[in-house]
Structure 1
């Protein structure tokens, strides 16, 4: 009964977050100050800033790297950095319920996704240990991936940047056949999606 109440609360919270949407950020360029200068000193500083931006544009080299190559290079660098910063979440046996340490790990991952890697799309991969049938483990892996994804959404990561996939027991982190290996295999991993 407690699990049903927790799950129902999580579903209601996700629904409320989806209905409220995200706030739009106001973009301010160097040419457009957020507020009008109120003093002559601020007006002069604003004029000097505009002139510095224009001089920078003139002083920049005529031949520049193509925007496509620059975007691809920055995207691959961001993906490599995100893959190193996003930590794996581990689960108890036959469970998709997030432990307190799993929630702490997901909070850290959400912080990375919201502050440092704001444009990356992430795929949450659900994994299981070798015990159980292939079908059961695929379903359990999907529940694990979705529980991690739902928690990230409650922390503010947009659903449009998240997807899930289950590998069941097909991709073990540790090929061993004991409890230590099984504990490493019951996990959700986060990879940058293409």
Structure 2
């Protein structure tokens, strides 16, 4: 009887010990599988938002730099084109044609110069040209004014033969009134017998 009781108590003690051990393991397992706390999730969301904001800022800065560079390049192209046009206009207007004494017919050299000018006028249809005929000081004012007009008209006629509309060409004679060279010798007189050209838009 005493042995049976002892055996029962041992079995009971073993059962209790096993139950306590299982309960302890279950608690540990529950602790391990605890869900992520809301604070941790909020921190991760803030990090994602901050990274996205930084990337958006960087992209905006790059886009602004690209636009600024494109605008700079466009301005450079415009400046180069404007400078090129200014050089062409200066060359056009500074290249006179010249005449023999008391003559208004065009020399071969003058015709070559006028062909170049006609090519430019065809390529720049929004420009017109004013031709001024000039003479040296020899002869009367009235005669030189008439001679200057014939010289200007000779260039206009040549332009029109090359296809430049007469509506884009005007003429004026200054006779001996506007000498290029004020000298009173053959070298100066040769410079003063000319047609000069001015572009208008």
Query: Shorter-chain-normalised TM-score: which range?
Result: 0.5 to 0.7
Measure, in 2, the Cα distance between the counterparts of 1:160 and 1:83: 22
Residue 149 of structure 1 aligns to a residue whose secondary structure is: helix
Q: Number of matched residues?
A: 124
4+ residue runs of structure 1 moved beyond 3 angstroms?
Answer: 77-81
**In the alignment, is the contact (CA less than 8 A) between 1:79 and 1:192 conserved in 2?**
no
The answer on 1:129 being equivalent to 2:139 is no
Residues 1:105 and 2:113 aligned together? yes
Q: Specify every segment of 5 or more residues in structure 2 that has no aligned partner in the other structure, as ranges.
A: 1-66, 68-80
Q: Please, what TM-score do these two structures have when normalized by structure 1?
A: 0.58
Q: Output aligned runs, 1:107-186, within 5 Å.
A: 107-115=115-123, 117-186=124-193
TM-superposed deviation, 1:85:
2.5
1:101-158: per-residue Cα shift (whole Å, max 9, x none)?
A: 111111111111112x221111000000010011000000000000001001101111
Q: Shift in Å at residue 78 of structure 1?
A: 5.0
Question: Contact between 2:135 and 2:148, CA under 8 Å: does it hold in 1?
Answer: yes
Aligned equivalent of 1:36: none
Q: Aligned equivalents of 2:173 and 2:86: distance in 1? A: 21
**Whole-angstrom distance in 1 between the partners of 2:86 and 2:168:** 13
Superposed CA RMSD: 2.4
Q: TM (normalized to structure 2)?
A: 0.56
Q: What 5-or-longer segments of structure 1 have no aligned partner?
A: 1-59, 61-73
